[in-house]
Chains A and B, each alone.
Chain A
Amino acid sequence: MATLVIEKLRKSFGPIEVLHGIDLSLNSGEMLVIVGASGCGKSTLLRLVAGLEEPTSGRIVLDGRDITALDPSARDIAMVFQNYALYPHMSVFDNMAYGLRIRGLPKPEIQRRVHEAAALLGLEALLARKPRQLSGGQRQRVAMGRAIVREPKLFLFDEPLSNLDAKLRVSMRAEIRRLQRRLGVTSLYVTHDQVEAMTLGDRLLVLHLGVPVQLATPMEVFDRPANSYVAGFIGTPAMNLLDATLTAGGTAARLEGGMLLPFADGRREGVEGQKLTVGIRPEHVRLEPGGTPLTIDLVEPLGSETVLLGRLPDEAMLSVKVHGAWSGGERTEIAIPSASLHVFDAQSGLRLDPLR
């Protein structure tokens, strides 16, 4: 149990700055998920905390101790790697015991901890095996076990599930969450998978091009994305983002095709004609006879629901999620409920909240 504080952390590789000042604070026992597209700097951030890379500037404080300049071995942090990074020449037991032996723990204590972790992860029967004799999911468990037995102050997860097949990923995801809750170890979890991010994190940090864009709970990120990038990144299928302009008085947005979308929650600040990006999630678009016509280009059945990819009269793309199978034709009529609108400034991308 420990807190983690990151202050003004920057990292450059040569002339290229990949992290432009990260400030973060993790409560004891919290699981924070860092999410972003590849190349956003999320893995670099994790490696800085691990000590595998040196920051250009900034501070990392773990449990009140400044660890910025410490060697990884002195940080009391355990990491689960994307490709497991097990020691191929050691048995499962030795893989887990390696770090404990280095710390000079007495033999019975090592035995106790390894067996405890193995029991927790269902690995008791595999302790004598070598990593190459294990399946992907088992290797992942051993990698987790190696982190758990250390009883570190902080867990780091670097996309630990991305090498697993889809089904295993879902079950391991739940397992990781259960374990982390149970052990109560403060954790940083890096992923590009927004479903993982939503389900695992107490809070999310969305990184975009080395800049932290939003730090909030998963539901808040989903309900009130801080900018149009987050809006498009979180949620499947992705939120529809439509070009629009602000009407006089800031009470509505006018789509390029002339469709008027009044704001249900109040007027926005800005001048008439200001360019906006209006977001609406596909599941919030309603089918409504007599509404705006939509030409359907593609129907994607997902089983319990179906995604319709279509075009508005002004050729703007719009996807709609409907329940069940789609039996309609190539045309339908829709309505966009004003209560579900997200309004962003087109230039800065920032969310525009109603004036109070």
Chain B
Amino acid sequence: MERRTIFAGWKLPLLLVAPQLVLTIVFFYWPALVGGWESLTRTDAFGVHVVFVGLANFHDLFADPRYRAAILRTVEFCAAVTALSLGLGLILAVAADRELRGRDLYRVLMIWPYAVAPAVSAVLWILLLNPQIGFIGRFLTSHGVNWDYALNGNQAMLMVILASAWKQVSYNFIFVIAGLQSIPKAVIEAARMDGARGWFRFRTVVLPLLSPTLFFLVIVDLVYAAFDTFGTIWAMTQGGPAMATETLVVKVYNDGVVNLDLGSSSAQSVVLMVGVVALTALQFRFIGRRSGT
């Protein structure tokens, strides 16, 4: 039964929703509207004159080879983070699904990285990978690897991918564990009786039954990698060296906040917003279909 409370007037209900309403308006709608407007304007270097320029910012943006490079870089980054975090989450979840000692402790420990703030996790990875003071970094340099992510773009990319994926493994782990537990035990036993073993059984029975969960996670991971990794990347490389780790969100920040090109930055934000809306719509449609059957 639907729970519904009837209020006598409109003042109390308004007061009760006001905090959330104010937060949403001040921090979401207002900036979005301002951003939308600014994407159609151009401001001079001193911030004095504002000129309406229509869609010129967008035109310039897509004509800019560096923006197209950033799109490509973001796609690569997202794909790598999703593949790595989902792959690891899947492997760890399958391992944790078995009967083993200390299973609950193992599961709790697996969930921890999710609770670590992006900047903190970035510092943690720096402390591991820094070529002078990092445990792994020093090990690499002392074994003849020319390791310095501040100079080598590929190494920097590898590092931000690792750090970003690490944080998301927990999330994937939880969902895959839940997905595995929802597979009826008897179906697995039937497969055993049918003679299916190990990897073959996993591939032909477990994986297909897990695929709805995996699809959901791919979308969530892509959104995470595209939008929620700013903190991690910014704390580690600020998008460098030489834009090697500058994904679209980092570029928005660099162009707008650092280089004060507000028009172009706003246009980029609008493009990103369209991206989020598209992915969210895809996810909603998918979840709706799933709960519908």
In whole angstroms, how far apart are the Cα atoms of A82 and B184 in the complex? 12
Interface size class of A (residues with CB under 8 A): 20 to 34
Pair A73/B190 contact, Cβ less than 8 Å: no
Pair B196/A77 contact, Cβ less than 8 Å: no
Pair B200/A72 contact, Cβ less than 8 Å: no
Q: How far is the CB of A19 from chain B (nearest CB, A)?
A: 19
Pair B186/A85 contact, Cβ less than 8 Å: yes
**B192 near A: Cβ within 8 Å?**
yes
Q: How far is the CB of A162 from chain B (nearest CB, A)?
A: 13
Pair B209/A88 contact, Cβ less than 8 Å: yes
**B191 near A: Cβ within 8 Å?**
yes
Number of chain B residues whose Cβ lies closer than 8 Å to a Cβ of chain A: 17
**A190 near B: Cβ within 8 Å?**
no
Q: How far is the CB of B283 from chain A (nearest CB, A)?
A: 22
**A79 near B: Cβ within 8 Å?**
yes
Contact status of A83 and B191, CB under 8 A, knowing A73-B197, A98-B196: no
Chain B 197-228 near chain A by CB (<8 Å), digits 1 or 0 = 10010001100110000000000000000000
Contact status of A102 and B194, CB under 8 A, knowing A83-B184, A89-B208, A89-B209: yes
Contact check: which of A77, A87, A88, A103 meets B193 at CB < 8 Å? A77
Pair A71/B197 contact, Cβ less than 8 Å: yes
**A78 near B: Cβ within 8 Å?**
yes
**B97 near A: Cβ within 8 Å?**
no
In whole angstroms, how far apart are the Cα atoms of A150 and B190 in the complex? 13
Contact status of A85 and B184, CB under 8 A, knowing A72-B192, A79-B190: yes
Q: How far is the CB of A186 from chain B (nearest CB, A)?
A: 16
Pair B192/A73 contact, Cβ less than 8 Å: yes
**B195 near A: Cβ within 8 Å?**
yes
Q: How far is the CB of B36 from chain A (nearest CB, A)?
A: 45
Pair A81/B194 contact, Cβ less than 8 Å: no
**B187 near A: Cβ within 8 Å?**
yes
Pair B196/A102 contact, Cβ less than 8 Å: yes
In whole angstroms, how far apart are the Cα atoms of A99 and B192 in the complex? 9
In whole angstroms, how far apart are the Cα atoms of A73 and B208 in the complex? 21
In whole angstroms, how far apart are the Cα atoms of A82 and B187 in the complex? 11
Q: B209 — which chain A residues lie within 8 A by C-beta? A: 88-89
**B189 near A: Cβ within 8 Å?**
yes
In whole angstroms, how far apart are the Cα atoms of A88 and B200 in the complex? 17
In whole angstroms, how far apart are the Cα atoms of A89 and B184 in the complex? 13
Q: B208 — which chain A residues lie within 8 A by C-beta? A: 89
Q: B186 — which chain A residues lie within 8 A by C-beta? A: 81-83, 85
Extra inter-chain contacts (5) besides given A85-B186, A87-B191, A98-B204, CB under 8 Å: A74-B195, A81-B189, A85-B189, A86-B187, A98-B191
Question: 8 tightest A-B contacts by CB?
Answer: A99-B194, A85-B186, A73-B195, A85-B190, A89-B208, A102-B195, A72-B192, A81-B186
28 of the cross-chain contacts (CB-CB < 8 Å) are: A50-B189, A52-B192, A52-B193, A71-B197, A72-B193, A73-B194, A74-B195, A78-B193, A79-B189, A79-B190, A79-B193, A81-B190, A82-B186, A83-B184, A85-B184, A85-B186, A86-B190, A87-B187, A87-B190, A87-B191, A88-B209, A89-B208, A99-B193, A99-B194, A99-B196, A102-B195, A146-B194, A150-B194
